[in-house]
Amino acid sequence: MKNPSKNRLLLAIFASFFILQLPLFSQVKEPSAADRGMAAEDFRRGVVSYYRGAYGDAIMQFEKALSYLPDEGQILEWLGKSYLKFGVESAALDQWKYAIDNGYGGIVLQNKYEIVQSRRIAFEQFSKDTRYLIGASFPGVMDNNLLFSKVFSILPEDDGSFWATAYGSNELLKFDINGAIIDRTQGPLNGFDRPMDLIRLSNGNMAITESKGDRVSILDKNGRYLFSFGESGINEGQFLGPQCIAQGNGGNLYVTDYGNKRVSVFTEGGEFLFSFQGKFKSPTGIAIKDDSVYVADAIAGEITVYDFAGNYTGRLCKAGTFKYPESLRIYGNSMLVADKNKIYSVDLSNSKVFETVKIGNTPSKLTCAVVDVNGNLIAPDFNENEIEILSKMNELVGGFYVDILRVNADSFPNVTVDVKVESRYRQDVIGLKETNFFFSENGGMVKNLKYQGMVGYNYNSDITIVIDFDNDIDKYSSQVETAIRQIAQNMDPSSTLTIISSGQVPIIEYSGSSAGCEKFSFSRLNAKKSSESFLELSLRLAANNMISTSSKMGIILLTDGDVDENSFTKYPLADVCAYLSNNDINFSSVLLADTVPDYQIDYLESHLKGKTYYLYQSEGIGSIVSDFNSINDGVYRFSFTSVMNAEYGRTFLPVEVEVYLHNRSGKDVSGYFAPLD
């Protein structure tokens, strides 16, 4: 184990305290040429520090620059950007507000100010108040050319694309985020026969029901045909118009059989098990949540509930609630119900029904509604032969939040830029293509623009484990060892694993290859226990240690679930959360005891794409690493050749990026310095 120094942490604490005590503005005076020269040099150093991830240093440099030019809008903007990354959002807003009031920044800075201000409220969740409007439509016919006919079901992918079953044209299609068809398949040799519902199976394959073919076909993850099961008839294992399909926790497949008025159950390999005829006359949609099987009845307009054996357990929604419900999809603790020209969300805890979407009074027939990776609803309109992309009302009005995260000009004039794209409420926008971006330098187009991919997509994460080192930690010594060993064994050896003990003073106990902790011993920890928690300092130390070195980062808290009320006194919980969120650091926890975690842990996880794992859960905690690796943070990397004159690295070189998707857009204006010659 390495025995780290405390100097870095103490310096960071002192620096953050010092900079927050500095007066915002010096006494106003007419700046001299010398003042402007000193300000320019401090500004250059601040920009360089910012792109290195040294936000404390950047703040100090920009504050010094302001002491020479107190009203300079560009310096105020960058000081605000640094405070935002440092987690002090209120200070960031103060700087931007002053710059805006002085006439600097225009609509771009004004929009950024308004979005960050609105984000300080808890993230928006899917609820009864959520309303969606059509943001884009993908028509089946364009310029008199038939692209597809009568889509019934949608299956979204985690890269922003989605699959669609075309009932009318007997095919399976794959669309990118812009609505371009990037793949299509007709299934087996004799083709699909009226494909309807489509789901992803636990083994990665896809299952598709064929209404007229009276069968279920299994495809691989790329849509290539594997095998089918089922045939026409009224006997066990046969179908008369299979409609929708769902998979239970044990892997079995539940298929609604409209003609036979039953639900048939098969193994994942297609072996018939049993069927049940519940309290329904015309079963259509089906969904499974926990131990409950929900079945929609199109004619009765209700949803009934069964256990895995087919025993009736009650009604979720009484008869007449819906006009003609079709597909059911689970989203969190809600169920989305497609019902003619409307989409409803049903709260599974209390059966309350909320109207989420209404597509006018046209003859529309929405057959499915799913939430994609970007938080949009995708709903095919069967009658109008369109696929509707529906977005939250306030997202359509607010546009995108675009942030130029990093500019690497070490090989100037060759420049690399990382751009993050989010919705108004921090929802990462995944799946954008090069055609969705427009780059410029000082208003002119850049040369040799190349899209290099999404940063961190399916990339290994660097992970920091924070041990809640309180007075009870000795009781959990073996649990700590087990947790760290499991995490280390599931990490890629090329990734960095860091261990921090949150004791009297947070200590970095280890930092290096994960292979070095596969036989971790609790006895080698150097921290001293404390009756008080310094969790906020430990989390900030973890972040400081990763920001400048990692492109994908995650923090795992090992705790008994009991977090002291004073754990976030030096840095408020909201500020710590903002610091991690604004730097794309994900957070999860591992409970060393079978208990319920305190609200502080829930707050961090709900805002930082994480979740709670119990050390001794049946499946183990090895998946925590793959869960981190699979998170996509919506960061896109581009390279281009600059046509600007760097003037030996002394001139600030502006760069702008605009992002367009359907009828939404966003823009960021930033800049950089070339290396000094």
Range with lowest mean pLDDT among 198-202, 270-274, 470-474 = 470-474
- pLDDT at position 503, please? 80
Q: What is the mean pLDDT of the chain?
A: 89
pLDDT value at position 485? 94
pLDDT of res. 8: 43
Superfamily of domain 1-121: Tetratricopeptide repeat domain (1.25.40.10)
Instruction: Flag the least confident range among 52-66, 175-189, 388-402.
Output: 388-402
Distances (CA, A) of 363 to 137, 299, 344, 358, 366: 16, 18, 18, 12, 10
Question: To which CATH superfamily is domain 156-359 assigned?
Answer: TolB, C-terminal domain (2.120.10.30)
233: left (phi over 0), alpha (psi -120 to 50) or beta: left
From residue 527, give the alpha-carbon distance in Å to each of 355, 483, 502, 549, 672.
54, 18, 8, 25, 41
* The pLDDT of residue 6: 44
Mean pLDDT on 249-276:
96
Whether pLDDT at 18 is above 80: no
pLDDT at 486 over 50: yes
CA–CA gap between residue 550 and residue 568 (Å, rounded): 26
- The pLDDT tens digits of the residues spanning 542-559 come to 998 888 766 689 999 999
Split at pLDDT 50, 70, 90, the class of 355 is very high
Contacts 24+ apart (CB under 8 A), 94-103: 94/24, 98/24, 99/73, 102/71, 102/73, 102/76, 103/73
Position 523 scores a pLDDT of 87
Rounded Cα gap, residues 314 and 279, in angstroms: 9
In the structure, what pLDDT confidence band is assigned to residue 239 with cuts at 50, 70 and 90?
very high
CA torsion, ordered 572, 588, 251, 191, to nearest 10 deg:
80
3-class secondary structure per residue, 253-301? EEEEECCCCEEEEECCCCCEEEEECCCCCCEEEEEEECCEEEEEECCCC
Give the position of tokens 């006018």.
Answer: 360
Average of pLDDT values for 45-73? 95
State pLDDT tens for residues 625-672.
998 888 888 899 999 999 999 999 999 999 999 999 988 899 999 999
In this prediction, residue 469 carries a pLDDT of: 85
Q: What is the pLDDT of residues 93-105, one digit of tens each?
A: 999 999 999 999 9
Which is it for strands 262-266 and 272-276: parallel, antiparallel or unpaired? Answer: antiparallel
d(CA 658, CA 370): 28
- CB contact set of 68 (below 8 Å; sequence gap of 6+): 31, 35, 36, 38, 39, 42
DSSP 475: G
Condensed to tens digits (0 to 9), the pLDDT of residues 125-174 reads: 445 557 788 989 999 999 999 999 999 999 999 899 999 999 999 999 99
Checking if the pLDDT of 123 tops 70, the result is: no
Return the CATH fold of 462-630.
Answer: Rossmann fold (3.40.50)
Predicted local confidence at residue 550, as pLDDT: 63
Supply the DSSP string of 299-332, one letter for each residue. TTTEEEEE-TT--EEEEEE-TTS-SSEEEEEEET
Q: Is the pLDDT of residue 315 over 90?
A: yes
Q: Flag whether pLDDT at 401 surpasses 90.
A: yes
pTM: 0.85
Say if residues 560 and 533 touch (Cβ distance below 8 Å).
no
Which residue type occupies 400? F
pLDDT tens figures, 489-518: 999 988 899 999 988 788 999 999 999 998
- Please say if the pLDDT value at position 336 is more than 60: yes
Domain assignments of the chain as residue spans, ordered by start: 1-121, 156-359, 462-630
Q: HEC string of 192-250?
A: CCCEEEEEECCCCCEEEEECCCCEEEEECCCCCEEEEECCECCCCCCECCEEEEEECCC
C-alpha 211/C-alpha 193 separation (Å) is: 7
